[in-house]
Amino acid sequence: CAPSYETFLTQHYDNPKSSVGKQYCDVMMKRRGLDKPACKEVNTFIHGTKNNIIAVCTASGGKDYGKGLRISLRPFTVTTCKHKGGSTRPPCKYSDNKSSRYIVIACNQDGKPVHFDESL
Site for ligand UDP, rule CB under 6 A? 1, 3-4, 7-8, 11, 41-44, 80, 115-116, 118-119
**C-beta separation of 66 from 34 below 8 A:** no
CB of 116 to ligand UDP, least distance (A): 4
Chain-centroid distance, C-alpha 46: 5
Nearest to 55 by CA among 73, 69, 42: 73
In eight-state DSSP terms, residue 102 is: -
CB of 62 to ligand UDP, least distance (A): 16
Residue nearest ligand UDP by beta-carbon distance: 1
Nearest to 84 by CA among 45, 47, 35: 35
The catalytic position among 11, 12, 26, 45 is 12
CB of 34 to ligand UDP, least distance (A): 9
Known catalytic residue: 12?
Answer: yes
- The catalytic site residues sit at 12, 115
